[in-house]
Amino acid sequence: MRLQGWEWIIILAIVLLLWGAPKLPGLAKSMAQSMRIFKKEIGTEAKPKIAEAKPEAAAVDAEVTPEGEQKQG
């Protein structure tokens, strides 16, 4: 269901009657700011976070024998 031109005009007229012309710029600004915050949050969740400490890096220096003893190497 796509809205046609005259339907948008009716919706705009209703919005003008409900909120009034002076309040519309503030409403548009807050909507744009909300969209920016939303896009920013979505973008940060899409990227995987880098692990702070890798446990594999500590195990590289010391090898463990099958008996459980550590061998420096």
| Res 10: pLDDT | 92
| Res 52: pLDDT | 54
Contacts of 65 (CB under 8 A, 6+ apart): 71
Q: Which residues of 57-67 are buried (b: 16+ CB within 10 A; e: fewer)?
A: eeeeeeeeeee
CB 70 within 8 A of CB 63: yes
| Res 36: pLDDT | 94
Confidence category of residue 72, pLDDT binned at 50, 70, 90: low
Give 16-68 pLDDT, tens digit per residue: 888 787 887 888 899 999 999 999 988 876 655 565 555 555 555 555 556 65
Contacts of 71 (CB under 8 A, 6+ apart): 62, 63, 64, 65
Give 6-15 pLDDT, tens digit per residue: 898 999 889 8
